[in-house]
């Protein structure tokens, strides 16, 4: 089990990361992606791209294997992640499926999860990412990943093959969506605690959820070169 400190791993964790971390490669196509990313960054700054607010600093590259679609409950992670995976023919995984029965019971009752509740869950997700990387299996993972420490836990050692997409929306918009949702175990009253926990990323593609799922997925694919 992981220690409670978010930045400490045991020796086995370090050894696994060392074995699985792929060697970066460069190609002419990667250079094309870099130029395109610069163009889109300018577009985003001047408001010409309505959906994507910020382009991540890392170079888009066809060598990445995992797309982490993150955000608070109700932001559309599963809908967007599954649609993206279907369009690009990648494996899709929902982090909610990795929660323990105890965690799911707490969430259904409107009890916020603590860090102690989340570390084993994050550990299982990290193991899944390690497996996908080892197999060379491209995967879209929908996961809240609210804190920076959670995201470091998930991707440490595989930063070069994981790309993050943050689905950003206002509390009012997401609350309205949650009010009409009946197919999820998480209690809608937990939204405030989700926003309280959220630490917005500074190294992700930030996408407004004001647009339709189709438009959002199209924007993600365009920015990531997929």
Length of the chain: 226
pTM value? 0.69
pLDDT bin (cut points 50, 70, 90) of residue 19 is: very low
Tokens of 105: 């019971």
Burial class (CB within 10 angstroms; exposed 0-12, middle 13-18, buried 19+) of 3: exposed
Cα(51)–Cα(172) distance, rounded to whole angstroms? Answer: 18
**pLDDT score, position 93:** 97
Cα(179)–Cα(4) distance, rounded to whole angstroms? Answer: 34
Per the domain annotation, does 17 fall within a domain?
A: no
β-pair partners for 54: 206
**pLDDT score, position 115:** 87
Per the domain annotation, does 90 fall within a domain?
A: yes
Task: State the pairing for strand pair 52-54/162-168.
Answer: unpaired
β-pair partners for 168: 208
Give the domain range for residue 159. Answer: 49-224
Task: State the pairing for strand pair 52-54/205-208.
Answer: antiparallel
CATH number at residue 144: 3.40.50.300
Per the domain annotation, does 202 fall within a domain?
A: yes
**pLDDT score, position 183:** 52
Per the structure, the count of domains in the chain is 1
- HSE on the CB side for 133, CA within 13 Å? 27
Res 46 pLDDT > 90: no
Per the domain annotation, does 19 fall within a domain?
A: no
């Amino acid at each position: 089990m992981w220690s409670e400190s978010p930045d400490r791993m045991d020796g086995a964790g370090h050894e696994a990361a060392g074995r699985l971390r792929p060697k970066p490669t460069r190609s002419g196509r990667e250079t094309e992606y870099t130029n395109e990313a610069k163009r889109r960054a300018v577009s985003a700054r001047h408001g010409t791209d309505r959906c994507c607010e910020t382009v991540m600093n890392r170079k888009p590259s066809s060598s990445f294997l995992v797309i982490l679609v993150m955000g608070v409950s109700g932001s559309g992670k599963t809908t967007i992640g599954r649609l993206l995976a279907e369009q690009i023919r990648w494996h899709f995984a929902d982090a909610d499926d990795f929660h323990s029965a105890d965690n799911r019971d707490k969430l259904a009752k409107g009890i916020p999860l603590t860090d102690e509740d989340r570390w084993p869950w994050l550990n299982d997700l990290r193991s899944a990412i390690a497996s996908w990387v080892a197999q060379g299996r491209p995967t879209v993972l929908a996961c809240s990943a609210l804190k920076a420490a959670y995201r470091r836990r998930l991707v440490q050692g595989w930063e070069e093959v994981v790309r993050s997409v943050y689905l950003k929306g206002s509390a009012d918009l997401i609350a309205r969506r949650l009010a009409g949702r009946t197919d999820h175990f998480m209690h809608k009253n937990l939204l405030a605690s989700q926003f309280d926990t959220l630490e917005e990323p500074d190294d992700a593609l930030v996408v407004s959820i004001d647009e339709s799922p189709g438009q959002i997925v199209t924007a993600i694919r365009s920015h990531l070169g997929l």
